[in-house]
Structure 1
Amino acid sequence: MLDNPRSHGLWEKTAPPPPATERLAGGHTADVAIVGGGYTGLSAALHLAEGGARVVLLEATEIGFGGAGRNVGLINAGMWVMPDNFVKELGPVHGERALKLLGNGPALVRETIRKHGIECELVENGTLHLAVGTQGLIELEERARQWQAHAAPVSILDAAETERRVGSRAYAGALLDMRAGTLQPLAYARGLAQAAMTSGATLLTGSPVISAQRNGSGYLLSSTEGTVAADWVIVATDAYSTGPWQVVRDEQVHLPYFNLATRPLSGNLLRSILPGGEGCWDTREVLSSFRMDRGGRLVFGSVGALRGPGAGIHRNWAKRALSRLFPQLSEIEFEAEWYGQIGMTDNALPRLHLFDRNVIGFCGYNGRGIAPGTTFGKVLAEHILGRISEADLPLPLSDPKLASFRSLKEAYYEAGAQLAHLAGERF
């Protein structure tokens, strides 16, 4: 997008084209204005339109331009934090409510895909959280214990079964989560957009919101060439926020994450690496993730930004790491590379903000945007439609809080990933 092959990489090359949209021009009115064309905004637009609301969605660039179009494509349940920490951080009511809702998030994604016929390379064979060493296996055993206490279909695989499923002897075991799976993330975003438009929502791209003002009992949102007057506003810009809700970006610390995609693998290689098609990530502090796309490309990623010296450092590390995991890939070349930013909150859990009366939004997905974004978008729609009261929302309302030492932390993460990968996999 924007003629930058490192913004969306393989996903831009292989996704179906986006639905035709226009820029905001002139004056529009709506029941609900949505700011942001990622999973949350698109899911909210779809469910609001299905509920009979007049919806106008404003996207500053293109559908899926932010994290929705750049991520790995893992449809995970829950968040990074352990299940028990939901209750510790959010309290017993919201903690249990959010855990159940997000645990069922992948099921909602699948249901949405099937209902609207979205072509997005959906694979439903689960994910593998891979244990690096004994300590990694201990961590996963505790994670499995906590999820099993909530009747989740997760299990621990031993090293031999993990090797059979992954095609590598590098791991001490794995946590298999059968709720989860993979998809083509930009294709899913574009499919949600088409479904929302088919249901009656108006989607306008290239239309950044530059001001938001009270307008009687509602709000007036302005872009460069037009306005939208609405009774409600959903802020769905998350880690890529600018303009009136820049505070959403400022309360999160950006963690850069990159992906590289190999050329399509031969039949023999495909039979020896991830034959079941599970999506994978490991327990390292500077983690790695990998999965197959429908074209037989291995998508391999880790923490880091593909800019400046980081581009060469991370690319060379990826070749070394893949050669160690899968010696048969020692001569492999990459056909696409891209990166984006993950918005991290201080407790690795999302936030729910009421910015003003009838101005509401979720944010802070911490690298878990697909299922939570789809889920929370539906929640916002049902709240605005009067089906869910404020007391029944899955997270407590909170005020935005600026992240401490944000710029220093972001510089540290980018430089630290370069140092880790410069030295990594050399011995």
Structure 2
Amino acid sequence: MRDLGSLWRDSAAETFSAPPVSGDLSCDLLVIGGGFTGCSAALKAVGQGADVILLESDTIGHGGSGRNVGLVNAGLWLPPDTVCDTLGTEAGERLNTVLASAPDLVFDLIARHDIACEPRRAGTLHLAHAPRGLAQLKARHAQLIRRNAPVTVLDQTETAARTGTSGFHGALHDARAGTVQPLAYVRGLARAARDMGARLFENSAASAITRQGDHWIIRSNDATLRAKALLVATNAYHRPVAHMTLPHVPKVNYFQLATAPLGNNISRDILPGGEGCWDTGLIMSSLRRDAAGRVILGGMGDDTGVQAGWARRKLAQLFPQLADAEITHQWAGQISMTSDHLPRILRIGPDALSIFGYSGRGIAPGTAFGQAAAHALLTGDDSHLPLDPVGAHIERLPGLKTAIYETGARLVHAVSARR
């Protein structure tokens, strides 16, 4: 399959580059990973007066953050009652409350630091892919209303008017949410952190991490770095590091394609309100537009010909006027997905945390978790973390689960959306 590349890399208004790390350096907090979590943590820490170093093994936003759909969601894939059932009422509601306000944090940071990332807060539409999906959305709506969330159930007719297609059975609109250009957003966080004094380095993979006395020693390239506190925020893109082993978590690939910018005569009825969308299917798909008028469709799976064929068929099925639309970009990224679909904060040693497992909800949770982790590591106070840190995390057969997810997506997409 011809590689058409990532739309986000070609359209990001925010640019960022940093040199590889070199020499012997020391800091208060060292962050490994230049995605939403790591860059948010660096920005928060430097704002608290800390001396901060961030290491990114490739470039800022190279991993899942720069390959994201760009939906700034309030909450997780799981309904809030399920979060409480899994964690217990007190811990579950603490997490639900943090995530409910996480889009506020994202859009506040965008405004405060003038991040050019196409922010639009028109809400999201959770689309019912089948009648049972609408029943699930009505149950979720009831749970969210009990928590005073500004959510509304739309019937099939209202959903067709909001999306421009009759292909869904209803929707749940969440006014707290919105969309961004995700790579531009994470680059903007990095730029803001550097402007405030954080030291960021690209092409600087951590090769070894050890604890010596009351400091962490991190080796990268030919450099040796000493840090009082450590945050590992590599999520699905973690690379092996000598002397430190993190849990293996199942990964899910997510594929997207984008049309060329469309004239208003073709696309005026497609998401006219500017909402971002995701559906209730087990093999989830997403739909949105960008500021230039491109339609972007995504689905679980890697960027093989099977997924690309499905996406083109699906696009034409939902919007017949796009059957001959030029496809200019297609790309994929990886999602870290724990078995219970809940993120984890793992304590990996004294004054050291690792965060992973957003299950495809990286933007708002990653921003909130990163800021909370930075505060906790600098103050020693864990009370404001969204989740209690755990000392260990074990996933059964993560490699097999990854293969099952990918095989399932390919099988579904091989036969789906065929007329």
Does TM-score exceed 0.5, indicating one fold? yes
**Change in 2 beyond 3 A, CA 1:402/1:9:** same
Deviation at 1:269, TM superposition (A): 2.1
Query: Match of 2:172, SS?
Result: strand
Alignment of 1:219-230 (within 5 A): 219-230=216-227
Q: Which moved more, 1:21-30 or 1:11-20?
A: 11-20
In the alignment, which residue of structure 2 is the partner of 1:336? 329
1:23 aligned to 20, 23, 27, which one? 20
State TM-score, norm by structure 2: 0.96
Give the Cα–Cα distance (whole angstroms) in 1 for the partners of residues 46 and 292 of structure 2: 34
In the alignment, which residue of structure 1 is the partner of 2:400? 408
Q: Write the letter of the residue equivalent to 1:394.
A: P
**Change in 2 beyond 3 A, CA 1:195/1:246:** farther
Quick one: percent identity of the two aligned structures?
Answer: 43
Indicate if the aligned counterparts of 1:319 and 1:332 stay in contact, CA closer than 8 A.
no
1:376 aligned to 369, 372, 385, which one? 369
**Change in 2 beyond 3 A, CA 1:250/1:381:** closer
Deviation at 1:261, TM superposition (A): 0.4
Give the Cα–Cα distance (whole angstroms) in 1 for the partners of residues 93 and 414 of structure 2: 42
Give the Cα–Cα distance (whole angstroms) in 2 for the partners of residues 98 and 7 of structure 1: 38
In the alignment, which residue of structure 2 is the partner of 1:396? 388
2:415 aligned to 416, 423, 426, which one? 423
Indicate if the aligned counterparts of 1:251 and 1:400 stay in contact, CA closer than 8 A.
no
Query: Match of 2:37, SS?
Result: helix
Give the Cα–Cα distance (whole angstroms) in 1 for the partners of residues 199 and 15 of structure 2: 14
Matched, 1:65 2:57: no
**Change in 2 beyond 3 A, CA 1:14/1:312:** same
**Change in 2 beyond 3 A, CA 1:231/1:247:** closer
Indicate if the aligned counterparts of 1:239 and 1:248 stay in contact, CA closer than 8 A.
no
Deviation at 1:385, TM superposition (A): 3.4
In the alignment, which residue of structure 1 is the partner of 2:149? 152
Q: Write the letter of the residue equivalent to 2:97.
A: K
Q: Write the letter of the residue equivalent to 1:417.
A: A
Structure 1: stretches of 5+ with no match in the other structure:
none
Q: Which moved more, 1:368-377 or 1:314-323?
A: 314-323
Give the Cα–Cα distance (whole angstroms) in 2 for the partners of residues 80 and 247 of structure 1: 30
Give the Cα–Cα distance (whole angstroms) in 2 for the partners of residues 391 and 173 of structure 1: 39
2:228 aligned to 231, 237, 253, which one? 231
Query: Match of 1:243, SS?
Result: coil
Indicate if the aligned counterparts of 2:123 and 2:177 stay in contact, CA closer than 8 A.
yes
1:290 aligned to 287, 290, 296, which one? 287
Give the Cα–Cα distance (whole angstroms) in 2 for the partners of residues 134 and 92 of structure 1: 30
Q: Write the letter of the residue equivalent to 1:259.
A: Q
CA offsets per residue over residues 114-142 of structure 1, 9 Å max, x none?
00000000011000001122211100000
Structure 2: stretches of 5+ with no match in the other structure:
none
Give the Cα–Cα distance (whole angstroms) in 2 for the partners of residues 378 and 7 of structure 1: 35
Q: Which moved more, 1:67-76 or 1:213-222?
A: 213-222
Deviation at 1:245, TM superposition (A): 8.3
In the alignment, which residue of structure 2 is the partner of 1:113? 110
Deviation at 1:247, TM superposition (A): 7.8
Give the Cα–Cα distance (whole angstroms) in 2 for the partners of residues 297 and 248 of structure 1: 41
Deviation at 1:250, TM superposition (A): 4.1
Indicate if the aligned counterparts of 1:248 and 1:400 stay in contact, CA closer than 8 A.
no
**Change in 2 beyond 3 A, CA 1:369/1:153:** same
Deviation at 1:105, TM superposition (A): 0.5
Deviation at 1:415, TM superposition (A): 2.0
Alignment of 1:95-244 (within 5 A): 95-244=92-241
Query: Match of 1:244, SS?
Result: coil
Matched, 1:43 2:40: yes
In the alignment, which residue of structure 2 is the partner of 1:385? 378
Query: Match of 2:189, SS?
Result: helix
In the alignment, which residue of structure 2 is the partner of 1:252? 249
State TM-score, norm by structure 1: 0.95
In the alignment, which residue of structure 2 is the partner of 1:321? 314
Indicate if the aligned counterparts of 2:208 and 2:244 stay in contact, CA closer than 8 A.
no
Indicate if the aligned counterparts of 2:95 and 2:387 stay in contact, CA closer than 8 A.
yes
Q: Which moved more, 1:15-24 or 1:218-227?
A: 15-24
Give the Cα–Cα distance (whole angstroms) in 2 for the partners of residues 370 and 221 of structure 1: 27
Deviation at 1:158, TM superposition (A): 1.2
Q: Write the letter of the residue equivalent to 1:204.
A: F
CA offsets per residue over residues 5-38 of structure 1, 9 Å max, x none?
9596000000135323111101011011111101
Q: Write the letter of the residue equivalent to 1:50.
A: G
Give the Cα–Cα distance (whole angstroms) in 2 for the partners of residues 238 and 129 of structure 1: 25
Q: Write the letter of the residue equivalent to 2:207.
A: I
Q: Superposition RMSD on alpha carbons, in Å?
A: 1.8
Indicate if the aligned counterparts of 2:347 and 2:392 stay in contact, CA closer than 8 A.
no
Q: Write the letter of the residue equivalent to 1:40.
A: T
Over 6 Å off, 4+ runs: 245-249
Deviation at 1:88, TM superposition (A): 1.5
Indicate if the aligned counterparts of 2:25 and 2:225 stay in contact, CA closer than 8 A.
yes
Indicate if the aligned counterparts of 2:210 and 2:244 stay in contact, CA closer than 8 A.
no
Matched, 1:274 2:266: no
Give the Cα–Cα distance (whole angstroms) in 1 for the partners of residues 142 and 246 of structure 2: 34
